[in-house]
């Protein structure tokens, strides 16, 4: 009987030990889970993205003002008064067409006076010829030589007078009218009837219609790198008609010092605009068209695309210090209580950027998780929890 009671007591002790052991282990598990839960709440929380392949498209929008490629200032250097203005601003004129007629009375009177002088010289020459004939008949050598010398001197005077009259006539013919040297458009008229040409000024300014128009466009060097003289551009002309015409790059000038007070409008990616202050190249673009007018505004949109098959990363994920650019990637490790996630600093090589994303050629591969947001500052090796 005593042995039976002893066996029953031993069994009860064993059950109690198993019970307490189970409760202890359960409490350990509960506390471990609670500890992990509390720890998880204290570690940084991160948002991640997976980089993909694509391309960046940089869009540049620039503007300019149309002007004539070539203009010539026409004037009358004689100082004659304007008799009649026969052209007005905006007129389309043909080569040789009269623009201004001048009062040439004084010049015409001068020619008449010089012609009268020529007649007198001719009459004197007839008299000298008579003296020469008379001397020849008398046979006086000295008289003959004197008469001959007088005739030669007077002949020179006659030739000088004739040339003087010819020059005056050519000057009159050349300057009595101001004519168009080529087909063009009258862009400015300063001549006024009854007044002389202004000293150092011009009477009419004429554009060369055959050369057309041009405008200047400042373009970032990276956009201009893909352009060359002779390339065609689509140009939007401002105005009610909002006409689109074809322009051609005639010159590309090397960049100067950027003017931060003047920024061109640029955009990248899906079209977000940014003001840029970058080294610029100056493009000279020529235009042809009968409906164009000097002073009209024009707009041009240029695009530059990167390699279409390159890893593109959100700029929010990229960091930089004195060693270069880097991102935080996620390393996953398996554990007895589940998977854990750790931060790894990964150096990258960025080849191009816009205001939203960058292209990366080294350091990353597809499907690699990258941190874009974090609840706390991160360091290499930190344990994190995923959103």
Helix H or strand E encompassing 55: none
What is the rounded average pLDDT of the residues 118-146? 84
Instruction: Render pLDDT for 136-176 as a digit per residue (tens, 0 to 9).
Output: 888 778 888 888 888 899 899 999 989 999 998 998 888 89
- Which helix (H) or strand (E) covers residue 227, if one does? none
Q: Which of 121-125, 199-203, 241-245 has the highest mean pLDDT?
A: 121-125
CB atoms within 10 A of CB 165: 18
Mean pLDDT for the stretch of residues 277-290? 83
Q: How far apart are CA 182 and CA 208, in angstroms?
A: 7
Amino acid 201: pLDDT: 80
Q: What is the pLDDT of residues 291-319, one digit of tens each?
A: 788 888 999 998 888 888 888 889 998 99
Strands 184-189 and 177-179: unpaired
Task: Indicate the pLDDT class of residue 376, thresholds 50, 70 and 90.
Answer: confident
Going by C-beta distance under 8 Å and a sequence separation of 6 or more, which residues neighbour residue 330?
46, 48, 341, 342, 343, 344, 369, 370, 371, 384, 386
Alpha-helix residue ranges (DSSP H) falling in the chain: 2-42, 105-138, 141-175, 221-224
Taking each helix axis as running N to C, give the angle between helix 105-138 and helix 141-175, from 0 to 180 degrees, rounded to the nearest 10: 160
- Paired strand residues for 386: 46
Neighbours of 156 (CB within 10 A): 9
- Write the pLDDT tens digit of every residue in 174-191: 889 999 999 988 999 999
Predicted TM-score (pTM) above 0.85: no
Residue 106 makes CB contacts below 8 A (sequence gap 6+) with 80
CA-nearest of 188, 176, 197 to 81 is 197
């Amino acid at each position: 009987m005593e042995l039976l009671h002893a066996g029953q007591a031993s069994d009860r002790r064993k059950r109690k030990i198993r019970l307490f052991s189970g409760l202890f282990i359960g409490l350990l598990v509960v506390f471990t889970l609670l500890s992990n839960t509390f720890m998880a709440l204290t570690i940084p929380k991160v948002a991640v993205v997976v980089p993909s392949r694509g391309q960046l498209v940089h869009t540049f929008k620039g503007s300019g003002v149309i002007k004539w490629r070539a203009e010539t200032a026409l004037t009358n250097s004689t100082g004659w008064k304007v008799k009649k203005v026969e052209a007005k601003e905006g007129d389309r004129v043909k080569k040789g067409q009269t623009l201004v007629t001048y009062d040439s009375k004084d010049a015409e009177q001068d020619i008449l006076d010089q012609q009268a002088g020529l007649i007198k010289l001719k009459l004197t020459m007839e008299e000298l010829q008579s003296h020469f004939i008379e001397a020849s008949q008398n046979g006086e050598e000295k008289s003959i030589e004197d008469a001959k010398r007088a005739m030669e001197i007077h002949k020179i005077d006659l030739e000088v007078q004739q040339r003087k009259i010819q020059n005056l006539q050519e000057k009159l013919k050349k300057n009595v009218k101001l004519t168009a040297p080529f087909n063009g458009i009258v862009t400015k008229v300063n001549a006024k009837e009854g007044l002389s040409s202004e000293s150092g000024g011009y009477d009419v300014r004429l554009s060369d219609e055959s050369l057309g128009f041009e405008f200047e466009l400042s373009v970032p060097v990276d956009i201009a790198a893909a352009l060359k003289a002779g390339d065609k551009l689509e140009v939007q002309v401002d105005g009610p008609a909002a006409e689109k015409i074809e322009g051609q790059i005639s010159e590309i000038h090397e960049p100067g010092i950027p003017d931060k007070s003047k920024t061109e409008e640029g955009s990248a990616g899906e079209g977000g605009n940014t003001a840029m202050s970058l080294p610029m190249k100056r493009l000279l673009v020529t235009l042809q068209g009968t409906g164009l007018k000097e002073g009209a505004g024009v707009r041009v949109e240029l695009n530059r695309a990167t390699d279409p098959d390159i890893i593109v990363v959100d700029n929010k994920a990229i960091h930089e210090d004195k060693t270069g650019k880097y991102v935080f990637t996620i390393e996953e490790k398996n554990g007895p209580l589940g998977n854990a996630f750790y931060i790894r600093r990964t150096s990258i090589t960025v080849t191009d950027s816009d205001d939203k994303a960058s292209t990366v050629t080294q350091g990353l591969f597809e499907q690699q998780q990258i941190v874009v947001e974090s609840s706390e500052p991160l360091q290499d090796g930190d344990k994190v929890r995923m959103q």
